[in-house]
Amino acid sequence: MIHHVTTEIAVIGAGVVGLAVAEALVAQGHEVVLIDPEPPGSGASYGNAGTIADYAVLPVGTPDVLKNLPSLLFDRNSPLAIRPGAMLSLAPWLSRFMLQSRRKTAERNARAIAELLSGARALWQDLALRSGGADLLQHNGCLYLYETEKAFRAAQADMAYRRGLGVAVDLIGPQDLAQLEPNLPDMAGAAYFSGAAFLSDPGAMMQCLAEAALNYAGFLNGRIDRLTRDFDGIWLEGPKCRVRAKKAILCAGAHSQPLAAMAGDKVPLETERGYHLEWQMPAPILNRPACPSARGFYLCPMTGRLRVAGTVELGGLTAPPSRHRLDRLLQGARKIFPDLPKPSARWMGFRPSLPDSLPVIGPSSGGADVIHAFGHGHIGVTLAPITGRIVADLVRGKQPEVDITPYLPTRF
């Protein structure tokens, strides 16, 4: 059976970005239908590390990463690896990524990320409160851990750079770290983002957002494969649905590229696949998320469990999860907590990633009746509320407070 729906605004994709966008539009009094073939919040937005990472101002592509790229990519065990067999299809994205990793370009990207991140914590506080999820937003800060003296020394420059972009961070030695996190093994030191927040259960927070948004918005369980325009609006079509809307907001995460092209924009969107493992753990082993920075994952205390989430695998949307990546994640976690038993859950998700680590936010080239809001990479949870606010301003015809020039689809 085909569902026929007519609405003022269709939001394609009900991940954290689509949910935050729908919430902001509904609050502005619009008629909204969210469309997704999966339950709301069950994609990348479910399995992430849950950090409201307003300190994550560095793009993935930096001169350091560029220098080490061959060894990183071709070492199957590195925190940033490429799936064997995906090299050819990824070559165009990788060459753009390399260009974006040059010093001046990377610094420009960092400034554009910092601009979006600057209000993230306060906006999340408001959103969590409005959605009934305030208890799931914790305020214990976050840690980057340095296992060697050399890495800790190198962190000085990294943190000085972040401070220059408005990030509040303290470098702390082993004794202060042991007081904060007595269960961690000895480390050379840590960077402590004491004001940072995190979600103690991203899946539960997604449920809160979905319930809040769906109090006022409709939900259509279907996939959109085709986007066309006529004189009076937009048609969105898929195997199970046909939707007529005045406006569409494209929030399909890593799956947004084909629909963006139909709206008029050729966007170099790829996915950085990430993984998580979980252990049931009624008493938390940590008080806050901690990232052993050389290992590329977070150890996250979540409600009733420990989640270890992260690593980057460039590998496309269709290949099955890599057993090797999961094994490496487990080995890495056991380097920190050697007694971890067999994990109780394993997961892979798709970060939606552009070569410059910036999201695509703004009107489509084919017209302002389609607004793009995808490609948030490593910080999509953090940036969802600001994205919702920008989209709501654009729909209203108001100039967003943030200058959106760096995020426009026409930048490629």
Ligand X SMILES: Cc1cc2nc3c(=O)[nH]c(=O)nc-3n(C[C@H](O)[C@H](O)[C@H](O)COP(=O)(O)OP(=O)(O)OC[C@H]3O[C@@H](n4cnc5c(N)ncnc54)[C@H](O)[C@@H]3O)c2cc1C
Which residues lie near ligand X (CB under 6 A)? 12-18, 35-38, 42-45, 48-51, 53, 223-224, 251-253, 255, 274, 276, 309-310, 349, 351-352, 374, 376-382
Q: Which long-range contacts (CB under 8 A, 24 or more apart) does 171-174 make?
A: none
Q: Which is nearer to ligand X, 100 or 256 (CB)?
A: 256
User: β-pairing, 137-138 with 270-280?
Assistant: unpaired
Q: Cβ neighbours of residue 252 under 8 Å, at least 6 residues apart?
A: 12, 13, 18, 224, 259, 374
CB of 390 to ligand X, least distance (A): 14
Q: Which is nearer to ligand X, 125 or 174 (CB)?
A: 125
CB of 340 to ligand X, least distance (A): 18
CB of 299 to ligand X, least distance (A): 12
Q: Which is nearer to ligand X, 95 or 207 (CB)?
A: 207
Q: Which is nearer to ligand X, 182 or 239 (CB)?
A: 239
Q: How far is CA 181 from the centre of its chain?
A: 26
CB of 42 to ligand X, least distance (A): 6
| Residue 304: φ, ψ to 5° | 75, 5
- Whether the CB-CB separation of 383 and 116 falls below 8 Å is answered with yes
159, 171, 172, 173, 278 from 153: Cα distances, Å: 10, 10, 12, 11, 32
CB of 137 to ligand X, least distance (A): 13
Q: Which is nearer to ligand X, 174 or 203 (CB)?
A: 203
CB of 8 to ligand X, least distance (A): 18
C-beta neighbour count of 10 within 10 angstroms: 29
42, 122, 243, 384, 387 from 36: Cα distances, Å: 10, 28, 12, 17, 19
Q: Which is nearer to ligand X, 159 or 302 (CB)?
A: 302
Q: 86: which DSSP letter?
A: -
H or E element at residue 22: helix 16-27
Q: Which is nearer to ligand X, 178 or 303 (CB)?
A: 303
CB of 33 to ligand X, least distance (A): 11
The residue to which tokens 């994952």 are assigned:
297
